[in-house]
Homo-oligomer: A and B are copies of this chain.
Amino acid sequence: MGDGIQIYELQRMDLRGATVIDGFPSVGLVSSIVANYLINALQLRQIGIMDSPYFPTVSLVREGRPMNPVRIYAGSKPEDAADQLVVFISEFQPPPNLIKGIASTVLDWAQDQRCVQLLCPEGLIVDREAEDAKEAEVYGIGSTDRANEILKKNGVAIFEEGVITGVAGVLLNEGRKRDFDVVTLLSEAHPDYPDARAAARVIETIDKLLLRTELDAKPLYEEAERIEMQLKSIHQQTDGVKKPASPQRPSMYG
């Protein structure tokens, strides 16, 4: 595609069998909050960066260390040292012309590393009235029948009809084309501010699907709220870096 998107590994790890989490910004910053939570809670280490001549020219300094805006973290799940978790996190909202390149670079790399699946946390906008009527929920949609089966087995409602845009949408299409398991987890979220509760519900679903660590929900929700505050501040700081002004808005018509 000529967009020169590349992944640089800062540290080699054996990632066979790992699950990859897509943390590119989505509605209500659900993916960003989830990615940040997992990096902190599971103490993942930065193993690489993703860069392109068209990514922002910015260095983020955290705890006295400069960082690229798009980074890759990895580490083991607490219970099971064999199964790794990889998290892509991005401090910028990719413009439309970079989305296909980013999605295929993530997937190419995941397949090269012999990772086995990719999870995309997404926010889902719902009508205000509908929201009052029914309980907020997490829906799932997989790129393959295999992936949909796992969702059903774990009691995750299938997202039957609708549209998913952006990196997550392209990952789903690519997953189907390549017969690779991509799962989008959609949590009803407010489109206008970081929605920590929507993220917490996704984290509970990921825990159910992958970690089975029976995490206490309360600190998780508190943690989510802390991250929410932090992210708001980061996005205010990142002057000149494009804010998710027109966020990806998958909508639901189930």
* B148 and A57 contacting across the interface, CB-CB below 8 Å: no
Q: Which residue of B lies closest to A52 (CB)?
A: B100
Q: Which residue of B lies closest to A60 (CB)?
A: B163
Q: How far is the CA of A66 from the CA of B178 in the complex (A)?
A: 13
| A219 beta carbon closer than 8 Å to chain B | no
List residues 221-245 of chain A with CB under 8 A from any CB of chain B.
233, 237-241
> Would you give the shortest CB distance from A56 to chain B, in whole angstroms?
8
Chain B residues within an 8 Å CB radius of A176:
65-67
Most buried by B among A99, A141, A161, A241: A161
Q: How far is the CA of A106 from the CA of B49 in the complex (A)?
A: 21
Chain B residues within an 8 Å CB radius of A68:
173, 177
Provide the main secondary structure of the chain A interface. mixed
| A193 beta carbon closer than 8 Å to chain B | no
Interface size on A, residues (CB 8 A): 57
- Given contacts A8-B177, A64-B158, A143-B66, is CB(A57)–CB(B99) below 8 Å? yes
* B100 and A53 contacting across the interface, CB-CB below 8 Å: yes
Stretch at the interface among A14-22, A109-117, A130-138, A164-172: A164-172
Q: How far is the CA of A1 from the CA of B59 in the complex (A)?
A: 20
> Would you give the shortest CB distance from A60 to chain B, in whole angstroms?
6
Q: How far is the CA of A66 from the CA of B2 in the complex (A)?
A: 27
A sample of 9 more A-B contacts (CB under 8 A), given A61-B164, A64-B160, A233-B253, is A49-B177, A53-B97, A56-B165, A60-B163, A61-B160, A66-B143, A66-B172, A237-B253, A239-B251
